[in-house]
Structure 1
Amino acid sequence: MINTCFNFNLIKPHLKHKLISFLTRSSPNPHQFRHFSSQTRTYSNKQQSFLSLFNKSNTKLEIEQLHAHIIRTGFNQNLFVVGKIIVFCAVSDQCLMDYAVSIFEKINNPDGFLWNTMIRGFAKMNQVDNVFCYYKMMLEHEQSVDNFTLSFLLKASGQFGSVLLGKQLHCSVVKRGFDCHVFVRNTLIHMYGMLKDVIVARQLFDEMSEPDIVTWNTIIDCYVCCGKHREALDLFSRMQNACVTPDDATLVVVLSACAALGVLDIGRWVHLIVNRRCLMKDVMIANSVMHMYMRCGEIQEACKIFDKMSDKNLVTWNTMILGHATHGHVQDALSLFSSMINEKLGPPDEVTFLGVLTACSHGGMIKEGRQYFNRMTDEYNIKPTIKHFGCMVDMLSRVGLVTEAYDLVQNMPMKCNAIVLRTLLAGCNMHGNIKLAENVRRRLLEVDPDHSSDYVLLANTYASLDDWNQVSLIRRSMAANKVQKPSPGNSFIPVRG
């Protein structure tokens, strides 16, 4: 129930005088508007006043007070005015969908825009059940489905990760004749990219005769998300041959592909384009360029960009901290973390502490690593992920504290994966703890039974203790289970000229 009693002391000064003047007017009766043009003008003027107040309201309290006034003045069934509240609840960062539902359920005849807004809000909150529940109710109320409805549904399906649901929606798109609608087609490509089905995404792209810049960006991003970075760069080259000018989003995605492949030459060329367009003032693009240089090993170039940036966000600091940590620049990473905290630029997140713990692991800083791990949970209330536990296991295993690392694995709040166990097994091999290595190996058999490196690590552990009978037994077991080493990796050295 909405409290219709205003507390004017809580309203911002710039809104108070407008509400006072608004309240002194007589409340309209919406049913009389179609008969009297003068009253229609009054109605329109009050509607415009509401809209001006909406534009200046950005908190839940202000929206609730405006909603209370809407009810008092008889505008609670005006779809345009009430729709503003629902849009605020569904689209704003506060995402007040419970409040939106309470308003929506009291509307007698919601239009397609309001149904779409509710679906959009639930999709933003990743509440897939509610998304399709409201879609079903929308159909039951015989509301027509448009391109916006289908796009919100496709995005929700991609976030949910259901291939079956995505394909069913794809069929619905075709049946309703929206498969040639550019906006819907782009969302379809994006959905299949989120579902890691790059083949269908590429087929949808190739069927388009003249893809626009959004379509090119979507398919390139699809390949990057699926880990096919070389193919993404090939598409970028094809895009240029088609005389389509890349925009900011294109450059960010291409820089990401360059970073993943370590392709410094293309990365530098993209950096030149960014400089020519004076785009380095954009924090997202500057972060992407800096990340590319870090991943390619050009640390000094990344540091130059960081020092020149006037506006830095959390991603900027995380990129530098994690980049320094990955390259073994332990003190630089920890100094950056201290500077970030001292300048009070906002609380760190899980990525920040991932970089800090990686630095401690590479530097053999056990005491500091434990302190940062406890600080992350106690001071900043950040729940450790499997990657944080992996850093701690790696840090402890490097210095021989494999028993403590094993206890940490045993007490993890989530199921341990093969990567963490393999890290611990490597530590047991390094420090000759055969008994613990056998226990870890048994755990690995449950998670990933046929990985060749596990057999090799255990055999090497026995070999370090000169137990050649066990070495032979492990190798025979490997042959009996038909476990083969994976294809060897490739490396290349670029040659100029």
Structure 2
Amino acid sequence: MESCTTMLQLKQIQACMTVNGLITHTYAVSRVVAFCALADIGDVNYAHETFPQIPKPNTYIWNTMIRGYGKAKIPTVGFWFFRCMVRERVEMDRWSFVFALKLCEQFCAISKGESVHCRFCKMGFSSDLIVQNGLVHFYAEHGCLDFALKMFDETLVKDVVTWTSIIEGYVVHNCSDEALELFNLMLLSDVEPNEVTMIINSDSGRR
């Protein structure tokens, strides 16, 4: 499957898997869904058609559908999958929330992202660094810099992604002085900036 270059080849492999009974194996069918939803030559609609045929899709498969619709720039369907996870009480992991927040960046309003935020707080993920980083990036992307900074301040252990997300938010929304101040604070911390941080800071200096 990893050598596939077209959807036709994928469907041929899927047919063989069906004949041999492998299509009922969760791992095997997850690779079919992942190829269709995430590969540049895939087809997220075909992944959607395959999904109902899976007896018990695991968390990875659900996450893949959310991520796939985010990649396809169809956030409404991706968010529908997230809501189905909540409604059907599917076990979620940190990536469920990260992909859902990334998806919510494509909506004009922040209400859906706020609902994701509320959900992961209820489920005890509020101290997870990867989820916190997703939240900082979400609010910063929407220009809710006060909320982004609040989430940033509440993140006890900050990595380079945390710092870069908040700095980028201020740069994108033309708050170059604040971005530069944050960058200087980053240099005083134990976190080393990466290439992305340096490029963003360079953009801040030109604004």
For residues 90-112 of structure 1, the C-alpha deviation after alignment (integer angstroms, 9 at most, x for no partner) is 11223511110121111111111
Once residues 116 and 213 of structure 1 are traced to their aligned partners in structure 2, the CA distance between those partners, rounded to angstroms, is 25
Q: Does 1:172 align with 2:103?
A: no
Matched residue, 2:139: 192
Q: Does 1:58 align with 2:24?
A: no
Matched residue, 1:82: 29
Task: Indicate if the aligned counterparts of 2:149 and 2:166 stay in contact, CA closer than 8 A.
Answer: yes
Task: Indicate if the aligned counterparts of 1:89 and 1:95 stay in contact, CA closer than 8 A.
Answer: yes
For residues 281-328 of structure 1, the C-alpha deviation after alignment (integer angstroms, 9 at most, x for no partner) is xxxxxxxxxxxxxxxxxxxxxxxxxxxxxxxxxxxxxxxxxxxxxxxx
Task: Indicate if the aligned counterparts of 2:17 and 2:23 stay in contact, CA closer than 8 A.
Answer: yes
Runs of 5+ in structure 2 lacking a partner?
none
- SS, match of residue 54 in structure 2: coil
Once residues 229 and 93 of structure 1 are traced to their aligned partners in structure 2, the CA distance between those partners, rounded to angstroms, is 36
> Max radius of gyration: which structure?
1
Matched residue, 1:241: 188
Aligned positions of 1:136-285 closer than 5 A: 136-259=83-206, 261=207
- SS, match of residue 204 in structure 1: helix
For residues 158-195 of structure 1, the C-alpha deviation after alignment (integer angstroms, 9 at most, x for no partner) is 21121222222222221111111101000001110121
Given residue 223 of structure 1, which amino acid in structure 2 is its aligned partner?
Answer: Y
For residues 35-82 of structure 1, the C-alpha deviation after alignment (integer angstroms, 9 at most, x for no partner) is xxxxxxxxxxxxxxxxxxx22223222212111111111111111111
- SS, match of residue 55 in structure 1: coil
1:112 aligned to which of 47, 55, 59: 59
Aligned CA distance change for structure 1 residues 208 and 142 (closer, same or farther; 3 Å): closer
Does 1 or 2 have the higher relative contact order (CA < 8 Å, sep 6+)?
2
Offset of 1:150 from its aligned partner?
1.1
Task: Indicate if the aligned counterparts of 2:36 and 2:42 stay in contact, CA closer than 8 A.
Answer: yes
Aligned CA distance change for structure 1 residues 249 and 188 (closer, same or farther; 3 Å): same
- SS, match of residue 237 in structure 1: helix
Matched residue, 2:49: 102
Task: Indicate if the aligned counterparts of 1:128 and 1:160 stay in contact, CA closer than 8 A.
Answer: yes
Once residues 76 and 176 of structure 2 are traced to their aligned partners in structure 1, the CA distance between those partners, rounded to angstroms, is 33
Q: Percent identity?
A: 30
- SS, match of residue 252 in structure 1: helix
Once residues 133 and 159 of structure 1 are traced to their aligned partners in structure 2, the CA distance between those partners, rounded to angstroms, is 14
TM-score normalised per structure 1: 0.40
Once residues 203 and 149 of structure 1 are traced to their aligned partners in structure 2, the CA distance between those partners, rounded to angstroms, is 22
Once residues 76 and 96 of structure 2 are traced to their aligned partners in structure 1, the CA distance between those partners, rounded to angstroms, is 15
Given residue 62 of structure 2, which amino acid in structure 1 is its aligned partner?
Answer: W
Once residues 233 and 156 of structure 1 are traced to their aligned partners in structure 2, the CA distance between those partners, rounded to angstroms, is 28
Matched residue, 2:78: 131
Once residues 97 and 120 of structure 1 are traced to their aligned partners in structure 2, the CA distance between those partners, rounded to angstroms, is 10
Task: Indicate if the aligned counterparts of 1:95 and 1:125 stay in contact, CA closer than 8 A.
Answer: no
The runs of at least 4 consecutive aligned structure 1 residues that moved more than 4 Å come to none
Once residues 2 and 111 of structure 2 are traced to their aligned partners in structure 1, the CA distance between those partners, rounded to angstroms, is 41
Aligned CA distance change for structure 1 residues 132 and 61 (closer, same or farther; 3 Å): same
Runs of 5+ in structure 1 lacking a partner?
1-53, 262-497
Once residues 246 and 132 of structure 1 are traced to their aligned partners in structure 2, the CA distance between those partners, rounded to angstroms, is 33
Matched residue, 1:45: none
Offset of 1:133 from its aligned partner?
1.7
For residues 447-468 of structure 1, the C-alpha deviation after alignment (integer angstroms, 9 at most, x for no partner) is xxxxxxxxxxxxxxxxxxxxxx
